[in-house]
Amino acid sequence: MKTLIAYSTKYGTTARCANLLKEKLTGEVTLLGISKSGKVDLSLFDCVIIGGPIYMGRLKKETKKFCDKNLDILVTRKIGLFVCHLEKEKSIVDIMATQFPHSLWQASVVANGFGGASLVSMMKGMDKFMFANVAKSTEDKEAIDYAHIEDFAKAIQA
Ligand SMILES: Cc1cc2nc3c(=O)[nH]c(=O)nc-3n(C[C@H](O)[C@H](O)[C@H](O)COP(=O)(O)O)c2cc1C
């Protein structure tokens, strides 16, 4: 099976999760950083996994655009969706249903959150200010949900 993992990232955590997921998958797996990408022929892949981080309650716009632009072909592929985020109390079903196109979410074999990381030392300008205000924290923290990545890999390959 040929799989594409297409993701966007700002501080690298979603890229890291995409790499961790790749390591758990068998077959030919291609990683694609959406923001740096040109055109990709999605018909070459049996399975497409799409991920992005949540900022201020919204899926990063590159991932959102990628889904909207390619929706017609995406719904014909085997689809997996993931987000990186830190607000554990937010329902992942609500996030998936509101941040990805509804038909894509409904077509997905698996959709889940992989946790995230707050890399305050890397944050710049408004991000640092907003994060400090909302999270009341100035320390780097890693909260990647490795079990979710493992379960996601099993579900998409079942
Ligand atoms: C300014 C800012 C706003 C954020 N807003 C949210 C949010 O609304 N909900 C959430 O769950 N996480 C939020 N996060 C946490 C990010 O989703 C988390 O740090 C994620 O791992 C970032 O992934 P990236 O390194 O791939 O960009 C925010 C982080 C920053 C810096």
Residue boundaries of the structural domains of the chain:
2-116+146-157
What pLDDT does 55 receive? 94
- Cα–Cα dist 81/79, whole Å: 7
Confirm if 148 and 115 have CB atoms less than 8 A apart: yes
> Does the C-beta of 82 come closer than 6 Å to ligand 1?
no
Answer yes or no: are the C-beta atoms of 77 and 47 closer than 8 Å: yes
pLDDT for the residue numbered 37: 59
pTM for the full predicted model: 0.95
Between these two residues, 140 and 133, which has the higher pLDDT value? 140
- CB of 113 sitting under 6 A from ligand 1: no
Atom of ligand 1 nearest to the CA of 58: 8
Check whether domain 2-116+146-157 has CATH 3.10.580.10, yes or no: no
Q: Nearest 5 degrees, angle CA 53-CA 136-CA 35?
A: 20
Look at ligand 1, atom 17, and give the residue with the nearest C-alpha.
85
pLDDT in tens, 23-61: 999 999 999 999 765 689 999 999 999 999 999 999 999
The answer to whether 67 and 100 are in contact (CB under 8 A) is: yes
What are 55-77's pLDDT values in tens digits? Answer: 999 999 999 999 999 999 999 99
Find out whether the beta carbon of 55 lies less than 6 Å from any atom of ligand 1.
yes
Cβ 57 under 6 angstroms from ligand 1: yes
- Look up residue 33 and give its amino acid: G
pLDDT at position 115: 96
Q: Which pLDDT value is given to residue 35?
A: 78
| Residue 99: predicted pLDDT | 98
140 lines ligand 1 (CB under 6 A): no
Q: Which residue has the higher pLDDT, 129 or 9?
A: 9
Per DSSP, what are the bridge partners of residue 102?
A: none
